[in-house]
Amino acid sequence: MLLVLFGCAAVAPDSPAADPETRVIVVGAGAAGLTAARALHDAGVAVTVLEARDRIGGRAWTAEVGAATVDLGAAWAHGVEDNPMVDFADAHGLAYTPDATRWGRLYDAGSGRALGDAGWSALDDAYDGFEASLDDLKDDLGDTTVAAARDAWIADEGLAGQDARLARHAIDQWMVELSYAGPVDNTGLAWFWDEPELAGGDQFPVGGYGGWMDALADGLDIRLEHPVTTITHDPDGGVTVEAAGAVFEGTHAIVTVPVGVLRAGSITFAPPLSAERRAALDRLDTGNLEKVVLVWDEPWWDGSLEYVAADNSGAFPEFYDLSATAGAPTLVALYGGGFARELQAGGSDAAIVASALDVLAEAYGRAIPTPAHTAVTRWTSDPFTLGSYTYLPPGASPDDIDALAAPEHARLAFAGEGTSRLYYGNVHAAVLTGLREARRLGVERFAVAGWEDW
Ligand SMILES: Cc1cc2nc3c(=O)[nH]c(=O)nc-3n(C[C@H](O)[C@H](O)[C@H](O)COP(=O)(O)OP(=O)(O)OC[C@H]3O[C@@H](n4cnc5c(N)ncnc54)[C@H](O)[C@@H]3O)c2cc1C
């Protein structure tokens, strides 16, 4: 096909990207929105990004907590091979460092003691064993929850007492609530663990994801504190977007707000979104991964902590020692699933910090010094996220993600992690969907350093 060249970009002739009248409105300045906007802008297309918050980055948010620099949302680049976010970072001199977490302690609250290598092996064995049995469990149990499959597997293996508790921890926490983020008793079995992984291991962006988002946003027209309330769209006309009392007219819109925001109906679409999209939104859900950041002036611990709750409640299963990347003595507690849903619903920030400190006191058998600085995330109730990221309950399938990825029509498209069938829940998912939507408007070769071959 003959291509029209703008700088190093190539756009398809007769495509919206080749039309000087085209004006694209991107809703949301997270990884997906910034990617789409950047790819279009650098191909010569007029783009305005409307962002509800007073900052860019969305769920990639690096904050200062006292002297510590910490990612409150995404923290890891999960794989460096075939990862467009990492390719962008490489081309822009943005460094990353392998996750070299050292696990100092495994504490089993059920037996009230720290476990050694045998405890870690039991966790690893359960993880591997359950993973190896998944195909059979799916065949036998069908479209049920991972919790049901876990119960069946533990019974089948004849595990009891501490062995059963550790197996449940490995499955519930490692495989489900800290990765997919939804509650294990509402995470669907049918499609569980089917997504491919990118090669190259987990890496921390040096200085946090915030710098990567800043680089993506460089030079773009971004209107902060512009929560979009209404999008009026016409396949034969254009789009009218209302935000913060202002009206923005465009020829096309790309909506990148999270699935939780779409599910809540926070944005009025006129005409309403298709029945297929609304049905898919009803079937999908967003999880509840949250963090508690604890910063001290002096370290008092030794490595990261794995905490196995006596009742497998999912209470603060992991405390990462992130002192090296944060630049100050820092533990970050991760928790998700049902425990996070309950704690977030009922607890003040102070109460959540106190609960996390109680777990530390129990696991270390000592009084814990009061942290100098703390931060508590609220992705679950944040009106511009409403959940950490997408997961598939029973009854949902990757076809629902495809339904979200499909454009409403040629002038109204959607991007964001929840529209990536293969990689939903990740930053690279969001970036891939931003590139997808820029390509849909006609950008055939990206002029952005790092994305020339995408
Ligand atoms: C605690 C946590 C840990 C995570 N850890 C990792 C990790 O380690 N690695 C990884 O790869 N991924 C991780 N993720 C997932 C990753 O952060 C997301 O998949 C990715 O950042 C999503 O990007 P996005 O552009 O799709 O959405 P977002 O980043 O959410 O961007 C959407 C934007 O839309 C804006 N918005 C919402 N409503 C409106 C409105 N009405 N008008 C205008 N703007 C609006 C939001 O403010 C936001 O800026 C984590 C997420 C969380 C919450």
Ligand 1 pocket test, pick from 26, 53, 427 with the greatest ligand atom count within 8 Å of Cβ, gives: 427
How remote is the CA of residue 236 from the centroid of ligand 1, in Å?
31
Collect all residues with Cβ–Cβ distance below 8 Å to 150 and sequence separation of at least 6: 130, 167, 168, 171, 172, 184
Q: What is the mean pLDDT of residues 109-119?
A: 97
427 lines ligand 1 (CB under 6 A): yes
Q: What is the mean pLDDT of residues 279-306?
A: 97
Euclidean distance between CA atoms 432 and 254, whole angstroms: 14
Q: Is 446 helix (H, G, I), strand (E, B) or coil?
A: coil
pLDDT in tens, 251-290: 999 999 999 999 999 999 999 999 999 999 999 999 999 9
**CATH fourth-level superfamily of 4-58+218-286+397-445:** FAD/NAD(P)-binding domain (3.50.50.60)
Ligand 1 atom closest to residue 377's alpha carbon, by position in its atom list? 1
**Is the pLDDT score of 203 beyond 80?**
yes
pLDDT tens figures, 397-453: 999 999 999 999 999 999 999 999 999 999 999 999 999 999 999 999 999 999 999
Ligand 1 pocket member 30 (CB < 6 A): yes
* CA 88 – CA 84 distance, rounded (Å): 6
Give distance in angstroms: CA of 258 to centre of ligand 1.
7
Span 197-221, mean pLDDT? 97
Our answer on whether the CB atom of 189 is closer than 6 Å to any ligand 1 atom is no
CB-based burial label for 237 (10 Å; 0-12, 13-18, 19+):
exposed
CB neighbour burial string for 37-76, b if at least 16 within 10 angstroms, e if fewer: bbbbbbbbbebbbbbbbeebbbbbbbbbbbebbbbbbbbb
Distances (CA, A) of 53 to 62, 224, 229: 14, 6, 13
The residue whose CA is least distant from atom 14 of ligand 1 is: 74
Asked whether 254 lines ligand 1 (CB < 6 A), one says no
For residue 6, what pLDDT is reported? 58
Query: 204: Cβ below 6 Å to ligand 1?
Result: no
| Alpha-carbon span 6 to 4, nearest angstrom | 7
Confidence of residue 4 (pLDDT cuts 50, 70, 90): low
Give domain limits for the chain.
Answer: 4-58+218-286+397-445, 62-101+200-206+289-376, 116-186
What's the gap in Å between 224 CA and the centre of ligand 1? 16
Digit-coded pLDDT (tens) for 75-109? 999 999 999 999 999 999 999 999 999 999 999 99
* Total-model pTM: 0.97
Residue 388 has pLDDT above 70, yes or no: yes
Q: According to the model, what pLDDT value does residue 9 have?
A: 76
Residue 385 Cβ inside 6 Å of ligand 1? The answer reads: yes
Query: Residue 347 has what pLDDT?
Result: 85
287 Cα: distance to centroid of ligand 1 (angstroms):
12
Q: How much is the average pLDDT of 140-157?
A: 98
Ligand 1 pocket check for 52: Cβ under 6 Å: yes
Cα–Cα distance, 227 to 225 (Å, whole number) = 6
Question: Where does the pLDDT of residue 149 fall: very low under 50, low under 70, confident under 90, or very high at 90 and above?
Answer: very high
State in Å: Cα 314 to ligand 1 middle: 23
Measured CA distances, 312 to 173, 307, 372 (Å) = 9, 10, 30
- Residue 33 in contact with ligand 1 by CB distance below 6 A: yes
Please report, in angstroms and rounded to a whole number, the separation of the first and last CA atoms in the chain. Answer: 17
d(CA 332, CA 11): 45
Position 1 confidence tier, pLDDT thresholds 50, 70, 90? very low
State the pLDDT at residue 7: 58
Q: Which atom of ligand 1 is nearest to the CA of 33?
A: 25
Distance 416 CA to ligand 1 centre (A): 8
Question: Residue 25: CB within 6 Å of ligand 1?
Answer: no
58 in helix, strand or coil?
Answer: coil
Q: What is the distance in A from the centroid of ligand 1 to the CA of 364?
A: 34
Q: Whose CA is nearest to atom 48 of ligand 1?
A: 58
Q: Which two tokens stand for residue 441?
A: 């408007």
- Report the mean per-residue pLDDT for the chain: 97
- Which of 257, 261, 290, 391 gets mutated to test ligand 1 (max ligand atoms within 8 A of its CB)? 257
Q: Please determine, for residue 2, whether its predicted confidence score (pLDDT) is greater than 60.
A: no
Cβ–ligand 1 contact at 79 (below 6 Å) = no
Query: Domain 62-101+200-206+289-376's class?
Result: alpha beta
Measured in angstroms, how far is the CA atom of residue 408 from the centroid of ligand 1? 22
Best substitution site from 27, 59, 318, 334 to test ligand 1's pocket, by max atoms within 8 Å of Cβ? 59
